Amino acid sequence: MSQTPTCWCGNPSLVRFNDDYLRCAVCETLVTGREAAQPDPVIKDDDADFYGRNYWFKHQEQDLGFANIETRARTDLPERCQHWLRTILRYKLPPARTLELGCAHGGFVAMLRMAGFDSTGLELSPAIVDFARRTFDVPMLVGPIEQQTIAPASLDLIAMMDVMEHLPDPVGTLACCAKLLKSDGILLAQTPRYPEGKSYEQMLAENDPFLEQLKPEEHLYLFSEKSAREIFSRIGLNYVVAEPAMFGGYDMFLFASPSLAKARTDDQLEKALLGSAHGRMTLCWLDMDRERKKARDTATEIDADRGRRLEQIRTLTAQVETLRMRVAEIEADRGKRLEQIESLSAQLQEIDADRALRLTDVETLSAQVLDLQSLAAVIDADRGRRLEQIHALTQEVGLLHGQVAEIEADRGKRLDQIQSLTADVHRLQSLIQEIEADRAKRLEVILALDARLKSFQPPAA
């Protein structure tokens, strides 16, 4: 930026907004910093000057990416022109005299004339004025409004669509327009709306659609609603009404008047238009526009619903994919668990086989124990018999001792008998020793079997 400019309101203390614009904190207007590049509104060379022929063809298409004026001469009519006409009719009815500044192809001027208004257009470029005359057969003025010979207080309405932001001297131009209006006349302005107080960084973060209006070579002043109302008040248009803009995301649509203007209701407008042939044709256009808007709104709702459904489908698809992956994980885990189950089953089979073997061993040992118990019973029975024999022998020995005593008394006599008995005793003693030895062996066997039985623990079933 070179020399710091002054705001239209007179404030010289502007602060930086971005590299191309300064902000007036007093009235909340953005002011271009490229003062040297401000285009001259007077066209001297239609092929070279900024607002000449090329502005509407080359510049619109190549620099801005918009349709050129020939295309817009058709596409503007069913869209923005219908919107403007419907809104104007709520405040002004024909017959009335109107002037549109910056009318471009002249399509809206033609629409106003067909609706019964005495309408004229104005453009800076002689080539574009000629284009509008040839295209729509409308009366046209060429050059800035300040250079026109129009009687003061002779106009019912002046429209400037996307013009205010281009004015090098907005106060001077708007004051000139205000002088041309009748006491109940209206100045209609569509212009970009700067969201007052917002920083450039905030707009970038929010992707604000207003950012598209930052064109420092041609948008010299970008007004907030506050600053627009203030500039209208400064030129004597104290009553300002904001109507819905065609592009509400970044535009404002203001009706400014020196007196209070009351808008008609749809019913009042319909009744007024039915009173003339022009009005009936206009009402037909408005009805068609209403139906078109309904269809567009319906299509918008359908697209929005379709978008929501697509989003739901995407969400459900993602959920299905997540579930599919989860099912795959579960299947993989199931496979691992099946492998574990098969491994455990094999181990159980081995355990069952081992248990069967152990049960067989237990049965064998049980049979052996029964055999040993039977053998022990036999041994016990035999031991009892032998004990009885020993007891009997002991008694016999006692008797023998008695006999020995008798024999000792009669030793001589009984020597032969003693010798015989001695031999018998010797035999008996040998037999007793044999019995005792056999008894000791049998006791050892019984004790070993008893210890084995005590140590044997059959496996749990």
Place of tokens 């008995």: 421
| pLDDT number for residue 457 | 67
Residues 110 and 209 in one domain: yes
Of 91-95, 313-317, 349-353, 414-418, the poorest mean pLDDT is in: 414-418
Residue 48 lies in a domain: yes
Residues 103 and 252 in one domain: yes
- In whole numbers, what is the pLDDT of the chain averaged over residues? 89
Total residue length of the chain? 461
Q: Are strands 140-142 and 221-223 parallel, antiparallel or unpaired?
A: unpaired
Local confidence band at 250 (pLDDT 50, 70, 90 cut-offs): very high
Percent of the chain with pLDDT over 70: 96
Give the other-Cβ count within 10 Å of 318's Cβ: 10
Residue 7 lies in a domain: no
- Cβ neighbourhood burial of 371 (10 Å; 0-12, 13-18, 19+): exposed
How confident is the model over 372-377, as a mean pLDDT? 84
Both tokens of 106, joined, read 């002249």
What's the pTM value of the predicted model, to 2 decimals?
0.67
| pLDDT number for residue 1 | 44
List, in sequence order, every residue forming a beta bridge with 32; answer none if it has no partner: 21
Instruction: Give me the DSSP letters along 407-459.
Output: HHHTHHHHHHHHHHHHHHHHHHHHHHHHHHHHHHHHHHHHHHHHHHHHH--PP
**Considering 301, 321, 354, which residue would you say is the last residue of a domain?**
301
| pLDDT number for residue 236 | 97
How confident is the model over 89-118, as a mean pLDDT? 96
Domain holding 438, by residue range, is: 364-455
What is the 3 state secondary structure string of 175-212?
A: HHHHHHEEEEEEEEEEEECCCCCCCHHHHHHHCCHHHH
pLDDT at 226 over 80: yes
∠ CA(160), CA(161), CA(167), 5° rounding? 65
Tens-digit pLDDT profile for residues 170-185: 999 999 999 999 999 9
* Whole-Å CA distances, 75 to 72, 82, 84, 281, 300: 5, 11, 14, 20, 19
Closest to 296 measured CA to CA, from 230, 340, 246: 246
Local confidence band at 35 (pLDDT 50, 70, 90 cut-offs): low
**Considering 250, 275, 301, which residue would you say is the last residue of a domain?**
301
Q: Are strands 29-32 and 221-223 parallel, antiparallel or unpaired?
A: antiparallel
Backbone angles phi, psi at 378, to 5 degrees: -60, -45
Local confidence band at 460 (pLDDT 50, 70, 90 cut-offs): low
Residues 98 and 242 in one domain: yes
Percent of the chain with pLDDT over 90: 49
**Considering 269, 301, 333, which residue would you say is the last residue of a domain?**
301
Tens-digit pLDDT profile for residues 285-309: 888 888 877 887 788 788 888 888 8
Local confidence band at 342 (pLDDT 50, 70, 90 cut-offs): confident
| pLDDT number for residue 310 | 87
**How far apart are the C-alpha atoms of 155 and 187, rounded to whole Å?**
10
**How far apart are the C-alpha atoms of 13 and 363, rounded to whole Å?**
114
Residues 263 and 152 in one domain: yes
Tens-digit pLDDT profile for residues 420-435: 777 877 888 888 888 8
Local confidence band at 360 (pLDDT 50, 70, 90 cut-offs): confident
Query: Which CATH number is 222's domain given?
Result: 3.40.50.150
